[in-house]
Structure 1
Amino acid sequence: MTALVLLLSLVFAAAFANNNQTTTKISLEDLPVGTFITNGYPAPEGKAPYIVSLLIRTDNSNSAAIGSGIIIGNTWVLTAAHCLTTDYVDIHYGSTWRVNGQYHHSVRKENFIRHHLWPDTNGNDIGLIRTPHVDFTPTVNKVNLPSFSQQNELFENWWAVACGWGGQANGQLADWLQCVDLQIMSNNECSKTYGNLPNGILCVGTPDGKSTCGGDSGGPLVTHDNPILVGVTSFGSAEGCTVGHPAGFTRVTAHLDWIREHSGIAY
């Protein structure tokens, strides 16, 4: 059985040897650090107006981690719960260049809502950020959630696109938003790699080294047809991003009630 690793933790610099996570911390002066979605393609401007770049920061520190979030409403960003464990985030809107959006907001932890079952149970790596109001434009816009009538839809074999500013296969540093087209697989198939998985996890295949990678945490997985948000980037294989093991997301349909309870957003 293959170990999994949260994709945010790959962009921190200090190593937490005690829990077997390889982590890396970066200084703001050194951005960009990490790498990007592996073997994807540069996103045309406006390709993913719902994605935001996150600088995840701690008070009195000049270091930051890199992650992503997803606009689901004028005052709400959805992300991974493991992106919301520090003091504040800088949210960059309308970004194609990483951490260089059209504008940004700094939002403190009092406006973070992490799922109450994370991290104790798998499948709950999801969180919300309450933000100042943003107006929607062609380059800053929300993505729709699945409707409650789709709550039992597994989306198996559907094609979807993941985007982010995480690890790139060749190790070269890129500044531009990367996307990759991936096919959703069944949890039974994914369990052959990671062991038994709850319904709250959704997996995609990663043929030819095409995958999400370190630094992509909290980013979107959006269906090609009738675009809706079906996953939030959560984890990958501890053996690396290009080895062909499935990439893991938090399944949005498993959390529609939770999202509605805390944000009021529902379809």
Structure 2
Amino acid sequence: MQLLKLAFFHLFLLTLCCATNAAEHRNSECSHRPAVNEEEEDLGSEILGNHDADPGAWPWLVSVQIASKDGTYRHTCSGSVIDNYWVLTAAHCFKAKVANNVEKIMLVFGLEQISRFSKNTYARPVAEVIKHENYNPDTEANDIALIKVTNPIVFTNYIQPVCLQNQRLDIAELKPCVTAGWGMVEGKDKWTDILQEQEISIIPTAICNQGDWYNGSLNDKVLCAGFKWAGPDRCQTDSGGPLVCKVLGTGKFYQLGITNWGLGCGQKIHPGIYTSVRKYIEWIQWKTSKFGQMQTSNEHARMATPNNSATCLHYGFLTSVGLVSLFI
């Protein structure tokens, strides 16, 4: 019994050490934007609406494309690069039957214009899609998924992993918060070809849960973001894309949310709803670990019951911010 306790103690220390080292390493490796001159970048009051993003402005953004009957691929959702093998997105992107066939899915990196690839763009086939076990397609609860590529994602000036939020953050420390995508512009049935970006604000859940807003339907695993009145918002085919905020003191953007749902686009008192990344950090850590991948393979093969084993991640799980929270 003593030997067993000692073995578990050493395993705990090893896991803690690995997680700490991984977090420190990725804190310096994520959310780089080499193609952008951030000193000249104007992210502020001028972005009150969608407008064209500069090439390489959001190098972690991914186009999730599904094969059509004619064999061509169509942009369906967005996602974010979190390391050399994994992309973070929304589970509801894979409701359609065709979307559950990995051979019909293609991920496009470094993309600016949907209608054409540039020299900075390349694609990767998909090895597997992991949706949250408790995802509810009726309520969109636990709307989070991971996509693993078959070959490593090569980082360039236009393709980089994003930092993930793993602690509470003070809302005063977050500015600006930005979303980007190729979806409809403010719900006007106008699809965009060139990547659009917009600045939005985090809105306290207590406000969004008011009776004439979302009437108490929001839980602590989602974020509400947009504007109190009608304004910029994410729309169809922006699903799965990241909500990122620049954290003062770090100079980097961190992904706080995953585009989930909303009532309309840009509608008064109905801002966008985002899956809170912080609430699923342990799930991301487990699923992208070697042991987590082995578990997933076993589940697919035998529908085995998940266990609570622990492990440290391979390169690319997430980062540590180290800020004390007041909000989110």
TM over 0.5, shorter chain: yes
CA distance 1:186–1:72, change in 2 (3 Å): same
CA distance in 2, matches of 1:63, 1:47: 24
- Does 1:203 find its partner at 2:224? yes
Q: Normalized against structure 1, the TM-score is what?
A: 0.76
CA distance in 1, matches of 2:73, 2:83: 29
- 1:205 positional shift: 2.4
2:281 to 252, 256, 259: 256
Q: 5 Å matches for 1:77-116? A: 77-85=87-95, 86=99, 87-88=101-102, 89-98=105-114, 100-101=116-117, 102-107=121-126, 111-116=128-133
CA distance in 2, matches of 1:214, 1:166: 5
- Does 1:176 find its partner at 2:228? no
- 1:167 positional shift: 0.7
Moved more, 115-124 or 224-233: 115-124
Report sequence identity in percent.
30
Contact 1:43/1:179, CA 8 A, preserved across alignment: yes
- 1:134 positional shift: 1.2
CA distance 1:156–1:189, change in 2 (3 Å): farther
- Does 1:163 find its partner at 2:180? yes
CA distance 1:216–1:228, change in 2 (3 Å): same
Structure with the bigger percentage of helix: 2
Structure with the bigger percentage of strand: 1
Contact 2:165/2:254, CA 8 A, preserved across alignment: yes
Whichever residue aligns with residue 261 of structure 2, its letter is F
CA distance in 1, matches of 2:143, 2:170: 18
Please identify runs of 4+ aligned residues in structure 1 that moved more than 6 A. 58-63
1:71 to 81, 87, 93: 81
* Partner SS state of residue 248, structure 1: strand
Q: What is residue 129 of structure 1 aligned with on the other side? A: 147
Q: What is residue 161 of structure 2 aligned with on the other side? A: 142
1:194 to 214, 227, 249: 214
Moved more, 64-73 or 228-237: 64-73
Contact 2:83/2:161, CA 8 A, preserved across alignment: yes
- 1:58 positional shift: 6.9
Moved more, 186-195 or 119-128: 119-128
CA distance in 2, matches of 1:73, 1:100: 25
Contact 1:79/1:219, CA 8 A, preserved across alignment: yes
CA distance in 2, matches of 1:154, 1:164: 26
Cα offsets for 1:15-37 (capped at 9, x unmatched): xxxxxxxxxxxxxxxxxxxxxxx
- 1:79 positional shift: 0.3
Cα offsets for 1:9-54 (capped at 9, x unmatched): xxxxxxxxxxxxxxxxxxxxxxxxxxxxx93111000110000111
* Partner SS state of residue 210, structure 1: coil
Whichever residue aligns with residue 259 of structure 1, its letter is I
Q: Normalized against structure 2, the TM-score is what?
A: 0.62
Larger radius of gyration: 2
Gaps of 5+ in 2: 1-47, 289-312, 320-328
Gaps of 5+ in 1: 1-37
CA distance in 1, matches of 2:140, 2:192: 32
| Greater relative contact order (Cα < 8 A, sep 6+) | 1
Whichever residue aligns with residue 134 of structure 1, its letter is I
- Does 1:231 find its partner at 2:257? yes
Q: What is residue 20 of structure 2 aligned with on the other side? A: none
CA distance in 2, matches of 1:58, 1:260: 33
* Partner SS state of residue 209, structure 1: coil
CA distance 1:243–1:114, change in 2 (3 Å): same
Contact 2:59/2:158, CA 8 A, preserved across alignment: yes
CA distance in 2, matches of 1:175, 1:45: 13
How many residues align structurally?
223
